[in-house]
Amino acid sequence: MTATRVNVDAVFRWPSFSHAVLADGHIYLSGVMGSLDGDSFQLAEGGTAGQTRQALHNLDLVLAACEASLEDIMKVTVYLSDLSTFLEMDQAYAELVTTSPARVTIGCSLSAGAAVELDAIAYRPTS
């Protein structure tokens, strides 16, 4: 099995990890937050909903670099800094993720004042 690491310049990341690792059709996506570009950690406006939309956009950019899309996601983990914003996150999430992958939501402290972080596992069969 060969693993391929994927990074996308337009999506912020700490240099200690890759945005994604591809292995045998599986795409393991690192956590992304609602940052607006790859050069800074400026978070999207709009609180949890705005950051959820931006984080999903960022995941989609990484998936595109892996020749996949949000439709290929099998499992998502959502990390919220404030669980009382769950419904706000869920509504924004449902606007963009329509395939109902498995999902868990966890309340925790997030870095840089972020309201939400998402990671995922996707599957795209190799040909």
Query: What are 35-90's pLDDT values in tens digits?
Result: 998 888 899 999 999 999 999 999 999 999 999 999 999 999 999 999 999 999 99
Query: What are 76-125's pLDDT values in tens digits?
Result: 999 999 999 999 999 999 999 999 999 999 999 999 899 999 999 999 87
Per DSSP bridges, beta strands 102-107 and 73-80 are parallel
What SS3 state is found at 14? coil
Q: Tell me, what's the pLDDT at 115?
A: 97
Residue with tokens 């337009």: 10
**pTM attached to this predicted model:** 0.94
Parse the chain into domains and list their residue ranges.
3-123
Percent of the chain with pLDDT over 90: 86
Residue 127 has pLDDT above 70, yes or no: no
Backbone angles phi, psi at 47, to 5 degrees: 60, -145
Q: Cα–Cα distance between 51 and 54 in angstroms, integer?
A: 5
Angle formed at CA 18 by CA 11 and CA 121, multiple of 5 degrees: 90
H helix runs in 1-127, sequence order: 47-65, 86-96
Per DSSP bridges, beta strands 20-23 and 26-33 are antiparallel
Give the mean pLDDT of 19-45: 93
CATH topology of domain 3-123: 60s Ribosomal Protein L30; Chain: A; (3.30.1330)
Q: Which helix (H) or strand (E) holds 6?
A: strand 3-6
Q: Which two tokens stand for residue 125?
A: 């069969």
